[in-house]
Amino acid sequence: MTDGPERRAADQPSPRRVGEAAPEDSGSGSSIGAYAGLGLQFAVSIVLFVYLGQWADRRFGTSPLFLLLGLFVGAGGTFYSMVRRLNAAQKRADEAARARKEGRS
């Protein structure tokens, strides 16, 4: 009758896609997967800007000026990007918590 595979499939939650947060975790902002690449982004950005600075120094003969400028632009820009991303995630988490709290009362 209804105890077949169709019935068992209906009782189970739908599968999630890779990287998708569990329903109980949605909006919490604490998902590790969402922030796993921040360190790599920071490192790649610094290396890229330092490389561009070295290239500019060789081209214009202004050794360490553009290298240092590249270092600070890469680090500062990436740090600013990370702060904005984390603040946005915190804001979403706070709004979700507020919505859950208002829904209970």
pLDDT of residue 9 exceeding 70, the answer is no
Query: What is the token pair recorded at 79?
Result: 């740090």
CB contact at 8 A, 84 and 19: no
Q: Can you give the pLDDT at residue 44?
A: 94
* pTM across the whole model: 0.62
pLDDT of residue 2 exceeding 70, the answer is no
Tell me, yes or no, whether 65 lies in a domain. yes
How many structural domains does the chain have?
1
The neighbour count for residue 47, using CB atoms within 10 Å, is 13
Tell me, yes or no, whether 23 lies in a domain. no
Tell me, yes or no, whether 7 lies in a domain. no
pLDDT of residue 4 exceeding 70, the answer is no
Tell me, yes or no, whether 83 lies in a domain. yes
Average pLDDT over residues 56-70: 95
Tell me, yes or no, whether 46 lies in a domain. yes
Average pLDDT over residues 37-61: 94
Tell me, yes or no, whether 72 lies in a domain. yes
Angle at 82 between CA 49 and CA 68, to 5 degrees: 25
Tell me, yes or no, whether 73 lies in a domain. yes
The domain of 89 spans 35-105
Tell me, yes or no, whether 16 lies in a domain. no
